[in-house]
């Protein structure tokens, strides 16, 4: 019995020392919890992620954001960068080309910059992240790099999800 008690005391001391080291010597940097990513992203990749298929998880997240974007916009004639670049355009909506609005169009530079930036960001994540994953046979991604890429798709998903759809009149 005394051996168990001694082992328990050692374990507690170890955990306390570990916590103290982390508090005093840790980077203090925030940690990204994947479960807080947008549900379109994390919900589509959990199984792949837990089995270490990080590259495939990022590809699945890209496909999920595309599918949800097409559904929200009611469009199947375009996808990914082309779809979202068009959707975030500051042009007026046209028949078959609804727009995603992150804010009211008050004619300001902020409105234009926000929408131009969202369209450029969408082109960027699909061109620089999704396309190489889909078309190149590279090695598996490192976990931290894949998490960063998921975070990029999560930002895009959040913008698409929260944007209002503006249709042609």
Structure tokens at 116: 């131009």
Q: What percent of the chain has pLDDT over 90?
A: 73
Taking the model in full, what pTM does it have? 0.83
Torsion of CA 84, 86, 89, 95, to 10 degrees: -130
Structure tokens at 31: 């940690």
Domain boundaries, the chain: 33-166
- Nearest-5° angle of CA 42, CA 126, CA 139? 75
pLDDT digits over 76-121, tens only?
999 999 999 999 999 999 999 999 999 999 999 999 999 999 999 9
Q: Which residues, including other chains, have CB under 8 Å from residue 45's CB and lie 6 or more apart?
A: 57, 58, 60, 61, 64, 150
């Amino acid at each position: 019995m005394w051996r168990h008690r001694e082992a328990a005391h050692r374990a507690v001391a170890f955990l306390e020392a570990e916590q103290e080291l982390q508090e005093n010597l840790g980077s203090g940097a925030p940690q990204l919890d994947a479960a807080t990513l947008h549900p379109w992203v994390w919900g589509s990749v959990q199984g792949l992620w837990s089995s270490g298929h990080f590259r495939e998880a990022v590809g699945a997240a890209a496909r999920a954001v595309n599918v949800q974007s097409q559904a929200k916009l009611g469009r199947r004639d375009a996808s990914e960068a082309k779809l979202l670049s068009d959707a975030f355009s500051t042009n007026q909506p046209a028949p078959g080309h609804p727009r995603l609005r992150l804010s009211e169009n008050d004619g300001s530079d902020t409105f234009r910059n926000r929408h131009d930036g969202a369209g450029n960001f969408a082109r960027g994540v699909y061109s620089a992240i999704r396309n190489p994953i889909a078309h190149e046979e590279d090695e598996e991604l490192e976990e931290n790099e894949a998490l960063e890429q998921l975070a990029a798709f999560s930002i895009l998903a959040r913008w698409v999800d929260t944007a209002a759809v503006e249709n042609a009149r």
